[in-house]
Amino acid sequence: MIYKGAIMNYKEINKNIWSEKVKGDDIWTLPVSQDEVLKARKGEWTIVLTPTKSVPRDWFPDDLANKRVLCLASGGGQQGPILAATGARVTVFDYSIAQLKQDEMVAKRDDLKIKTVQGDMCDLSIFDDETFDIIVHPWSNCYIESVIPVWKEAHRVLKKGGILMAGFANPVEYIFDMKSMNDGALVVRHSIPYSDLTSIDKSELQELIIDQGEGICFGHTLEDQIQGQISAGFVIAGFYEDTYGGGSPLDKHINTSMVTKAIKL
């Protein structure tokens, strides 16, 4: 992955990392159960876009039947199958083929209609303008260098009045030295915006990717995350925070993930 001091395409590295995460049963790669799908068919369902809190049901239309839903950077057999079980016409779009196979497995297992498409969340050119009624976008834009193209493309492919629900990180988590934080100590080291490609040295990056099996991440400003949506043409109509989960030492001090509901004017 790293050769002669140079970094290969970080998106390809992240795609490979997520293939390994699928093999390792990372929490974001575990498909929903048959029981969860059955309940969703009966109207009993929730989805998450961040580690622990469910998206409020009143953020969705009362009836999802035949609504066109794009699960953006959302492979893993989680959000897509649940929404498909409600009667929505679901497309799952993800850069990781291994993650998409999780959705395909659930669709086959539970007789769900789910379309899977492999691609970069920054480029939705495969879709026509105003194709979707709803986009659900779990916490994943930490794996791309700029979030602005995501908001612009999401706006383009949503119908007028369409809804974008997006989870993302509070950038405060990126100001701390990761090794120290994993040991329970909060040592301020970095500025925001943060980039694994430039904010840490090459040996640390190599250890992150090869030894720890973590993807290359970026800490985006809240201005890019929130004003970026507004500048793309959205109105922010809902917001909530969540923990990082997994025992992060930050959880007892501050919520480090958040979700916005945005509406295309």
> What's 2-170+222-264's CATH class?
alpha beta
DSSP state of 19: H
Q: What are the backbone angles phi and psi of residue 260, rounded to the nearest 5°?
A: -115, 145
Is it the case that residue 3 has pLDDT exceeding 70?
no
pLDDT in tens, 60-99: 999 999 999 999 999 999 999 999 999 999 999 999 999 9
When pLDDT is cut at 50, 70 and 90, the band that residue 179 belongs to is confident
- 188-195: long-range contacts, CB 8 A cutoff, minimum separation 24: 190/219, 192/219, 192/220, 192/221, 193/218, 193/219, 193/220, 193/221, 193/224, 194/218, 194/219, 195/145, 195/219
pLDDT in tens, 88-144: 999 999 999 999 999 999 999 999 999 999 999 999 999 999 999 999 999 999 999
Global confidence as pTM: 0.95
Beta strands in the chain (DSSP E): 2-3, 6-7, 68-72, 89-94, 114-118, 132-137, 158-169, 194-195, 218-219, 234-242, 257-264
Amino acid at 194: Y
pLDDT for residue 10: 95
Contacts of 227 (CB under 8 A, 6+ apart): none
10-14, 179-183, 215-219, 236-240: least confidently modelled range = 179-183
Domain residue ranges in the chain: 2-170+222-264
SS3 call for 239: strand
pLDDT for residue 246: 74
* Angle made by CA atoms 26, 31, 32, in degrees to the nearest 5: 130
pLDDT for residue 2: 43
CA 40 to centroid of chain Cα atoms: 21
pLDDT in tens, 211-238: 889 999 999 999 999 999 999 999 999 9
pLDDT for residue 8: 60
CA 179 to centroid of chain Cα atoms: 24
Burial 4-40 (b: 16+ CB within 10 A, else e): eeebeebbebbbbbbbebbeeeeebbebbeeebbebb
Secondary element (H or E) of residue 112: none
